[in-house]
A and B are shown apart, each in its own frame.
Chain A
Amino acid sequence: MSKTMSKTMSGPILKVDKVGKTFVQGVHQVEALADISFSVMAGECFAVVGESGSGKSTLANLILGIYPPTTGTISYAGEPLPAKRQLVHRRAIQLVQQNPLSALNPKRTIGASLRLALDVHGIGAPSERRDIVGGLLEEVGLPAEFASRAPAALSGGQRQRVSIARALACQSALLVLDEPTSALDVLVQARVLKLLEKLRRKHNLTYIFITHDLCVVRNIADRVAVFEKGRLIELAATETLFTRPQTPYTRALISAVPVVSEEEERLRQRLGEPQNAIG
């Protein structure tokens, strides 16, 4: 167990403390994130929402250690994560991306892509890894025979299931889901979201769910962090955020969502009325 970071602890699994990120391009400086602090509890689904340019993806990259923050610290299970992540840190936090076709190597079979994660992190005995791969596929609702297929032979939903299986392969407790269903058709989206919920309960996973889709957030998240132009402007339990949003920006976001039912329309109207927040 020395290779995995401790998962059994009380308190937050992830702590983001006064984190800022400034990108420098020649003489230009872009402050992508400023003074962000929040904690994610073990087993919760923590949604990060915002429009393009709000800093959602920068936050994901900081958490994953793609690049270090300019200021502040990010801690996992009580330990600050170093600027240069070691293998053990990389294993601890896994990513599921928006577009599974670009996330999977087209030249590798599904089985080889899953196996690579096991090989890199030395999970299971080499002779067992074939079976582990089969088990992972079954876990996400795909037949074990899919191991021999290429990503191109799978539908969008099936590919996204493979991406999820690959994240599960590392047995990490924390998954960063970056728009995991926004490239999928609505029926497929519902099935993949249902799968994510099932896996979270079964393995007590923690999700950081990054999305622009508030309807998805409403139905899957425990808490929601709203980002606007690199700042965390509102953080609340999902129910509270959608019934009593505190900032004009959040109200504007919710009331701009195209909805399908009268009941939703009434909620939208109610939130849209008091102030016209769209500038």
Chain B
Amino acid sequence: MTALVLEIINLNLSFARHGEQTAVLHDVCLSIARGERVALVGESGSGKSVTARIVLGLLGELASARITGEIRFEGQDLGALSPAGRHALRGTKMSMIFQDPTSSLNPAYTIGAQFHEVLRRGAPKISAKAAKERAGAMLAGISMDQPDRVLGSYPFQLSGGMNQRVMIAMALANTPSLLIADEPGTALDVTVQAQTLKLMRELVEDNGTAVLFITHNIGVVREFADRVYVLYRGRIVEKGATHAVLTDARHPYTRALLAAVPRLTGGGIADIGEETDVFAAPMFDHGPGAEARP
């Protein structure tokens, strides 16, 4: 068995619209080793969220989507799995955290009931009482005060930051080997976001969970990821160890992206020209350290 948790090989996606195919992803290749934290960074419309959805198998049902390429999860070709087989993976071996915690939790059920549902996916026979104990222990483990009160609450009774911590605890409840986090801190205040990232980093380190971290925020990439893939208009334009990409960006798009981020130390707003053909330059690979090391 290979130590690669996720391997995306030549992934292409297009949508049929008005009888025409609109290409969204072009030969995307990406791999994540066990326990590795990998960021996929790009602006809106670059294709980062659809990539996550394809990995989870949430896009295949769309009649208009045409997907080609191969996705291997723990060495297994996901394309060969039945819908039921893919369903069985979600919430157990691969899980997801979305951007807005409050809208990804069901407002009609208590946190405890939703936790129970998640734990049942890993252990179908788990009793409500056992689930409550397990959930309580997990929430206490992420230093949440009064876990029992949180479990008895509805999502709207908790703050956004608390909901996001609940989401993280739930996503890791069945010790998945892959966690996909889609902009997990964007809807939160900066101090809460910092705490959330710290918590996530601790939990995935403890569990040896690999993370595909999707974001538009390069600062967050620097805080969280070992390696980074830069996505521009459906193409990977640069990849490498986070430090290498951020301190020695080579692709014109990555360079523009880094230049455009306002600095905490000042220096003014950068003069960013209009999008040019130079962004279509071929991918730059920072080489050793850029590939997942099995």
Contact = CB atoms under 8 A, between A and B. Distances in A.
Interface in A217-245: 218-220, 238-239, 242
A214 B190 contact: yes
B44 to A, nearest CB: 6
B269 A193 contact: yes
A212 interface: yes
Contact of A219 (B191, B195, B217, B262): B262
B189 A219 contact: no
Contacts of B271: 190, 194
Interface stretch (B15-23, B219-227, B285-293): B219-227
B270 A190 contact: yes
Interface residues of B, number: 38
Nearest to B268: A219
A52 B247 CA distance: 33
Contacts of A258: 190, 193-194, 197, 217, 219-220, 222-223
A260 B218 CA distance: 6
Interface residues of A, number: 38
Contact of B265 (A187, A256, A263): A263
B85 interface: no
B132 interface: no
A172 B197 CA distance: 43
B202 interface: no
A186 B264 contact: no
Interface of B: 43-44, 160, 189-195, 197, 216-220, 222-223, 246-247, 256-272, 275
Interface of A: 51-52, 156, 185-187, 189-191, 193-194, 197, 212-216, 218-220, 238-239, 242, 252-254, 256-264, 267-268, 278
9 contacts: A186-B43, A186-B261, A219-B268, A253-B191, A257-B219, A261-B246, A263-B265, A264-B265, A267-B265
